[in-house]
C-alpha cells in the first residue's frame, strides 16, 4: 500500500553502500532504481552516508496512498460499529473482556507504567546515537537523531565497539537432546525418538518425538518439521493436532440422546475410536487423551547429509516453540477448548518467552553445548553474542510500546468521532512516546499487519515478556534445573491451560508479596507488572 513503489537514486549518492548491493539496483543510465519493499532499501538506510538519500528512502518506504489510509480507517470504524451493536463502547473493550487485561484502561495503565520504567534505557540509547552523530559529523552541539538516521548511526556505533563475533553453531540433535535433559530436570519428562507410522509423514524431513513422563509414561507426541523448503511457511509455529482432555467421565450415551431426541440411534456410530491403554494418560484425577502437536520452523537444511546446524538465534527459536509444546503436553484439563495453549492471548506467550531465558544460562548451556565439530562453546562467545544483541534494545522496546499504543488508540471509541484522523493520531503518539520525531508525509500503520490479526491485543507480547522475566528471576535464575520450582510451575500454571484464572496461576508461581500484589488482576496489578519492566 505504499504511494511510492520505486526510488530513483544517482549512483554517486550511494557512498557507503556495498558494491554488491549497488550492482543489484543499478541501471545503465547511472541511476539506481530501488523497490521500496526490498532489502536493498534497508541496506541504504543502514549504510548510505548521504543523509538526503536516507531521508528519501525512508519517506518512500513509509509512504501511503489515500486509499490505503481510507481502508485502515474503514476497518477501525467498522469494528467500532460492531462493538456498539453488542453494547460495548469500543472494539478494544469488546476484545479485552476475556483477556488478563480485562479492559482498555488496564492496558493503558500497563503500557504507560512500562514506558516510565524503561525510560532510562530509552534515554541511554538515544544519547548514544546523538553522540555518535555529533562525532561523525563533527558538530558543536548535540543534534536531533531523525528516523532516517537510526539504522545508520546504530550501525556506525556498533561497528566501532567490537570486531565481528564468530558465533557458534549447534546441531539440531544436540539442541533437542539438551531440551530433553532440561525438561527431565524441570518436569520429569523427556523425549524419545519414534518411528513414523504409515500416514504420519507429510514430508521426509518430519521427525517424531514421544514425550515420556517418569510418573505417567507416554504423555504426548510432537512432530518436528524444522527445515525450510519451497512452499512452506517461513514462520516458526506451534500447531495443535489434538489436545489433552479428560475422557474417563465422558457421557457419550446421553450426548447422542440429546443430539437426536426421540430417535433410536446406534450409538456405536458416534463413539470415538478407543485407543489402546498405552495411548491414554493415567493422571491423578482421571484418564486423559494424549495431546499431539506439530512444531514447524524455517531452519536452513544441510543438503550434504551432515548434521544440520543452528545459529544462536535459531536455538532460541527452538526453545521458544518448545515452551509452547510443553504447555500442550502438560495440560490436564477436562475440556479440549481450554487445554494447553488454548488460553488468553495475553497469557499464551508466557511459557514460551520464559524458555528463552533458559538458553544461555551457564547451567543450561552444557546440556547442548557441543557445537559444530563437537567442540565446547566458549562462555566468551556466548557473552559477546548477548552483549551485541542487547545493544540498542531499548529502542526496540520503545518501538513495540509505540505500536501497542497505536493499536489501542485505533480500537478505542475515538474512531467514532468524525474528526478522528489515523494519521494525526500516529504523529501525535510518535512525538509524545517515540524516540524519533514524526515525519510528515509518512504513514507506517498502513503496513502494520498485526492491526488486523491482533486488533487491540498487540500489547500481549510486551506483557508476557514482563511476566516471563519476573517468573524467571523468582523461580529459575538462581538454578534453572530446580525440580521443585519446575514442578511448581507445571502444577500451578502449565497444567491449567485456559481453565483457571491466569492471574491466580502466576500469583501461585511467584508466591510472596509479588503474588499478592497481582492476584486480583485489576488496574493496580497491571501497573505492578509494567513496573517489573523488560530485561534489555
Q: SS3 helix, strand, coil % of the chain, rounded to 5? A: 50, 10, 35
**Catalytic option among 93, 190, 321, 425:** 321
Contact between residue 111 and residue 459 where contact means Cβ atoms under 8 Å apart: yes
* 442 grid coordinates: 509518512
CA dihedral 487, 491, 495, 498 (to 10 degrees): -130
- What are φ and ψ of residue 211, in 5° steps? -100, 120
User: How far is the C-alpha of 182 from the C-alpha of 190, rounded, in Å?
Assistant: 8
The answer to whether 461 touches 524, Cβ cutoff 8 Å, is no
Q: HEC states along 64-129?
A: CCHHHHHHHHHHHHHHHHHHHHCCCCCHHHHHHCCCCCCCHHHHHHHHHHHHHHHHHHHHHHHHHH
Query: What does the block give as the cell for 292?
Result: 499431539
218 and 289 in contact (C-beta within 8 Å)? no
Sign of CA dihedral 251, 256, 258, 264: negative
The angle subtended at Cα 473 by Cα 387 and Cα 216, nearest 5°, is 115
321 in catalytic set: yes
Q: Which three three-digit cell numbers place residue 109? A: 495503565
Compute, in degrees rounded to 10, the torsion defined by CA atoms 260, 264, 265, 268: 130
Burial-class residue 391 by CB neighbours within 10 Å (0-12, 13-18, 19+): middle
User: What does the buried/exposed string (b/e) look like for 239-263 if buried means 16 or more CB atoms within 10 Å of the residue's CB?
Assistant: ebeebbbbbeeeeeeeebeeeeeee
CB 403 within 8 A of CB 425: no
Q: What's the rounded Cα separation, in Å, for the pair 401 and 459?
A: 7
Distance CA 422, CA 215 (A): 56
Report how far residue 282's alpha carbon sits from residue 188's, in angstroms, rounded to the nearest whole number.
Answer: 15
Residues carrying an active site annotation: 321
Amino acid at each position: 500500500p505504499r504511494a511510492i513503489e520505486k526510488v530513483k537514486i544517482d549512483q554517486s549518492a550511494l557512498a557507503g553502500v556495498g558494491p554488491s548491493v549497488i550492482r543489484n539496483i543499478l541501471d545503465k543510465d547511472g541511476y539506481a532504481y530501488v523497490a521500496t519493499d526490498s532489502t536493498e532499501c534497508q541496506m541504504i538506510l543502514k549504510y548510505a552516508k548521504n543523509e538526503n538519500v536516507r531521508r528519501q528512502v525512508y519517506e518512500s518506504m513509509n509512504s501511503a496512498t489515500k486509499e490505503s489510509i481510507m481502508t485502515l480507517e474503514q476497518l477501525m470504524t467498522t469494528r467500532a460499529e460492531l462493538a456498539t451493536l453488542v453494547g460495548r463502547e469500543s472494539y478494544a473493550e469488546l476484545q479485552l473482556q476475556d483477556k488478563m487485561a480485562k479492559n482498555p484502561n488496564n492496558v493503558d495503565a500497563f503500557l504507560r507504567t512500562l514506558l516510565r520504567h524503561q525510560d532510562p534505557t530509552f534515554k541511554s540509547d538515544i544519547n548514544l546515537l546523538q553522540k555518535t552523530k555529533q562525532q561523525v559529523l563533527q558538530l558543536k552541539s548535540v543534534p536531533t537523531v531523525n528516523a532516517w538516521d537510526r539504522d545508520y548511526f546504530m550501525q556506525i556505533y556498533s561497528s566501532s565497539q567490537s570486531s565481528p563475533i564468530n558465533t557458534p553453531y549447534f546441531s539440531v540433535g544436540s539442541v533437542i537432546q539438551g531440551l530433553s535433559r532440561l525438561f527431565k530436570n524441570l518436569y520429569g519428562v523427556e523425549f524419545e525418538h519414534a518411528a513414523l507410522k504409515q500416514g504420519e509423514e507429510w514430508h521426509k524431513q518430519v521427525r517424531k518425538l514421544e514425550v515420556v513422563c517418569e510418573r505417567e509414561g507416554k504423555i504426548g507426541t510432537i512432530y518436528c518439521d524444522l527445515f525450510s523448503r519451497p512452499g512452506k511457511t517461513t514462520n516458526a509455529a506451534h500447531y495443535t493436532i489434538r489436545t489433552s482432555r479428560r475422557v474417563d467421565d465422558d457421557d457419550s450415551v446421553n450426548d447422542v440422546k440429546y443430539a437426536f431426541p426421540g430417535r433410536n440411534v446406534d450409538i456405536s456410530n458416534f463413539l470415538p475410536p478407543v485407543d489402546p491403554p498405552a495411548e491414554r494418560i493415567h493422571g491423578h484425577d482421571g484418564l486423559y487423551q494424549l495431546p499431539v502437536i506439530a512444531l514447524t520452523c524455517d531452519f536452513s537444511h544441510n543438503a550434504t547429509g551432515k548434521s544440520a546446524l543452528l545459529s544462536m538465534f535459531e536455538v532460541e527459536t527452538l526453545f521458544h516453540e518448545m515452551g509452547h509444546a510443553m504447555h500442550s503436553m502438560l495440560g490436564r484439563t477436562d475440556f479440549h477448548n481450554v487445554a494447553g495453549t488454548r488460553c488468553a492471548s495475553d497469557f499464551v506467550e508466557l511459557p514460551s518467552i520464559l524458555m528463552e531465558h533458559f538458553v544461555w544460562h551457564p547451567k543450561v548451556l552444557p546440556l547442548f553445548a557441543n557445537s559444530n565439530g563437537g567442540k565446547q562453546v566458549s562462555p566468551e562467545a556466548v557473552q559477546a553474542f548477548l552483549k551485541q544483541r542487547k545493544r540498542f534494545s531499548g529502542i526496540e522496546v520503545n518501538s513495540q510500546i509505540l505500536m501497542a499504543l497505536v493499536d489501542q488508540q485505533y480500537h478505542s471509541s475515538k474512531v467514532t468521532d468524525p474528526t478522528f484522523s489515523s494519521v494525526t493520531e500516529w504523529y501525535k503518539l510518535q512525538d509524545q512516546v517515540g524516540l524519533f520525531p514524526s515525519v510528515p508525509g509518512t504513514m507506517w500503520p498502513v503496513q502494520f499487519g498485526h492491526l488486523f490479526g491482533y486488533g487491540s491485543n498487540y500489547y500481549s507480547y510486551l506483557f508476557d515478556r514482563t511476566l516471563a522475566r519476573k517468573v524467571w528471576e523468582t523461580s529459575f535464575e538462581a538454578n534453572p534445573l530446580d525440580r521443585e520450582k519446575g514442578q511448581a510451575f507445571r502444577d500451578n500454571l502449565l497444567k491449567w491451560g485456559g481453565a483457571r484464572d491466569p492471574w491466580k496461576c502466576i500469583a501461585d508461581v511467584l508466591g510472596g508479596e509479588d503474588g499478592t500484589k497481582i492476584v486480583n488482576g485489576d488496574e493496580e496489578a497491571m501497573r505492578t507488572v509494567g513496573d517489573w519492566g523488560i530485561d534489555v
